[in-house]
Structure 1
Amino acid sequence: MRVWFNRSFSSVHTAIDLIRQADRDGRFTILHTNPNPKSPVARLAHEFHLEPTGLASSDYIDWCVDFCLEHKVDIFVPGREATAIAGAHARFEAIGTRVQSAGSEAALLLIHDKARFYAETDLPGAPVAEFRQFEDAAGFEAAYDALRRRHRTLCVKPAHSIYGLGFAVLDEKRNSAELLMAGAEYYVSLDDFRAGLEKLGSFRSMLLMEYLEGREYSVDCVGDSGRLVTAVVRRKSSQAGAGQRIDQRADILEATAQLCRTHGLNGIFNVQFREAGGQPRILEINPRMSGGIGMACVAGPNLPYIALCGFADGFDHVDIPPVRNGIRVAELARAVELA
């Protein structure tokens, strides 16, 4: 069975490696495409091909269909243009290729729009942090006035972002130079932020939110069109080098299962939570493999392999090991030579 992973996040290297380790019978032939011929994944996949750059979304989908046809792809696991590809399943099915999307196009559009996702999320077991959306300095001031009355610390982040880019806690006492000297990562001076907004005029949609000060949890999951098949909960440590603890909290697993049902999630996805007052609060759904997928798999279930086998054959035929709850895991960098 020929399985194609197109250009994606760096976690695709870990995923392909895990699949190849588990596929002892050599059932799956893994293809990977990337514009970079020196991509480390090129050495790991059975077949590597270059993919084009600079294409519009519709043109890239045309190229993907042609690639699947030419290379006889049975299963396509999209990274690049995953949302648009989720809306084009029929084109791939017509040539005999099944696409493993994390959700429908509508679901993915909602998940990627954090303002709309927060507004529409009803999750009593892990409620959304209180937030306001703003797109100019006046909007920020109105949002700040409303939220600061109820919350001691506030933070900002873009409505559309990945990897936490653009997230910052608002510091009301220190200026930017003081924060820089203190090495205060992910903090921004409130006064400097205000001054910057005034100079910008209008800008992309941003969110002002209550800052959740508790522990952070990352949940790596496999879904089957809305049913949570298995999940591994990683509790992050605030201490550098301390690794992460596998912590299968029942409340977090139930909230994750509810999100999976609500959004019809499928294949591998990730959910982020953070505590406030001991209660988990939903941060976001990442409809893709997380950067920590390898750490999750140390706890037992080989999530990429389970997701692929379940999609290929149905999950009734897949052996899913129990999660080794309570163990501590970490990830170590490894140097390699590029061809």
Structure 2
Amino acid sequence: MRIWFNLTFSTIQSVFRNLRQSVPAGEITLICTHTHPHASAFLAADESYLEPADLVEQEYLEWCVDFCRQHNIQLFWPGKEAVLISKHHEFFQSIGVQVLSVADFDTLALLHNKADFYADLSASVAQTMDFIAVSDSEAFDSAVSQLSVKHQKLCVKPAVSVFGLGFRVLDTERDSITQILKGVEYQVPHQELRQGMTNTPEFATLLVMEHLGGPEWSVDCAGRHGELLCAVQRKKSQLPGGGQMIDNNADIDGMVTRLTARYRLNGLFNIQFKEGAHGVRLLEVNPRPSGGFGMACLAGANLAQIALRSIRGKGFQTPAIRYGLRVNEINTPVIIGNDLLSVTN
């Protein structure tokens, strides 16, 4: 089977490794495309190709269809423009290509915006932190006033964001120079943030939320159109260098199962949780493999194999998860190319 992964995160290498371990040699061919000629994901692929960097939306969709046709792709596992591609499976099906989308178009668009997602989510499926969505300074002031009565610390995050970009805890005691000198990370002085809003009367939706100060879980999952096939919980240590522990939290297990069913999640995806004063709360559903995917699979579950066998209509044996295992990742130096064009004496 020829499987194509288009432009995506470098962590896809862990998925490649686990896919190779899941089938006899030569049974699958992993094809990777990227806009950068030295993408690290190329190192783990069987075939690598450059894709145009300037194409988006419809033009990129048409390029993807042509690429599938030219390279005899049988399974397309999209990263870039995954939301758009999920809406146009028929383009690929017409040339005999199966597309793996984590959810349908409406669901992927919903997951992309946390304000919309949280508003849509029923508490009977999963509990979220207390939050208010704002898009101007007046609404921000009101949200801070309301939430401060109930919560000791507040934080903010853009409604549309990945990798935690834009997340900040509101610091009501220190200014930015003090934070810099003391090496304080992921915090922003409340008054300085508010002052900055005077230059931006309206802004993209920002979530003002209760700050969850407890441990965080990242759950790597394999599913089949709403059926949770396997999930591995990684509980992150709050101490530097403490690694992560393979956990079995019953509340998290229940929420993951219900979220998978509610949004008919499929393939490989990741769900994150954090504990606050009132229990474990959902942070987000990521419709892609996580950066820690490889660590999860060390627990005894080859999630990529499970997802692939499901796609191919094959059964699998439910793996025994090694709970209590402590895992971590180490960096390995590699050569990704040689840009030396000539040598002069």
What is the TM-score of this pair, normalised by structure 1? Answer: 0.97
Relative to structure 1, is the Cα distance of residues 107 and 126 closer, same or farther in structure 2, using a 3 angstrom cutoff? closer
Q: Given residue 331 of structure 1, which amino acid in structure 2 is its aligned partner?
A: E
Answer whether contact 2:171 2:188 (CA < 8 A) is retained.
yes
What is the TM-score of this pair, normalised by structure 2? Answer: 0.95
- For residues 107 and 328 of structure 2, the distance between their equivalents in structure 1, rounded to whole angstroms, comes to 32
The reply to whether residue 54 of structure 1 matches residue 63 of structure 2 is: no
Q: Give the match's secondary structure for 2:312.
A: helix
Query: How far 1:21 moved relative to its partner?
Result: 3.0
- For residues 181 and 300 of structure 1, the distance between their equivalents in structure 2, rounded to whole angstroms, comes to 44
Deviation larger for 6-15 or 261-270: 6-15
Deviation larger for 144-153 or 165-174: 144-153
The match for 1:149 is 149
The match for 1:269 is 269
Alignment of 1:74-223 (within 5 A): 74-124=74-124, 126-223=126-223
Q: Give the match's secondary structure for 1:326.
A: coil
- For residues 124 and 84 of structure 2, the distance between their equivalents in structure 1, rounded to whole angstroms, comes to 31
Query: How far 1:125 moved relative to its partner?
Result: 6.8
- For residues 43 and 55 of structure 1, the distance between their equivalents in structure 2, rounded to whole angstroms, comes to 24
Alignment of 1:9-20 (within 5 A): 9-20=9-20
Query: How far 1:235 moved relative to its partner?
Result: 0.3
| C-alpha distance after superposition, 1:21-60 (max 9, x if no partner) | 3333321111111111111222321111111111121110
The match for 2:330 is 332
- For residues 213 and 43 of structure 2, the distance between their equivalents in structure 1, rounded to whole angstroms, comes to 42
- For residues 87 and 156 of structure 1, the distance between their equivalents in structure 2, rounded to whole angstroms, comes to 32
The match for 2:342 is none
Structure 1: gaps (5+ residues): none
The match for 1:23 is 23
Q: Given residue 4 of structure 1, which amino acid in structure 2 is its aligned partner?
A: W
Q: Given residue 201 of structure 2, which amino acid in structure 1 is its aligned partner?
A: G
Query: How far 1:139 moved relative to its partner?
Result: 1.3
Q: Given residue 321 of structure 2, which amino acid in structure 1 is its aligned partner?
A: V
- For residues 210 and 277 of structure 2, the distance between their equivalents in structure 1, rounded to whole angstroms, comes to 13
Count residues in correspondence.
337
Q: Given residue 151 of structure 2, which amino acid in structure 1 is its aligned partner?
A: H
Answer whether contact 2:14 2:294 (CA < 8 A) is retained.
yes
Query: How far 1:278 moved relative to its partner?
Result: 6.2
Q: Given residue 47 of structure 2, which amino acid in structure 1 is its aligned partner?
A: E
- For residues 40 and 235 of structure 2, the distance between their equivalents in structure 1, rounded to whole angstroms, comes to 29
Q: Give the match's secondary structure for 1:337.
A: coil
- For residues 335 and 74 of structure 2, the distance between their equivalents in structure 1, rounded to whole angstroms, comes to 31
Relative to structure 1, is the Cα distance of residues 278 and 154 closer, same or farther in structure 2, using a 3 angstrom cutoff? closer
Q: Give the match's secondary structure for 1:313.
A: coil
RMSD (Å), alpha carbons? 1.2
Answer whether contact 1:214 1:278 (CA < 8 A) is retained.
no
The reply to whether residue 40 of structure 1 matches residue 65 of structure 2 is: no
- For residues 332 and 22 of structure 2, the distance between their equivalents in structure 1, rounded to whole angstroms, comes to 20
- For residues 318 and 62 of structure 1, the distance between their equivalents in structure 2, rounded to whole angstroms, comes to 35
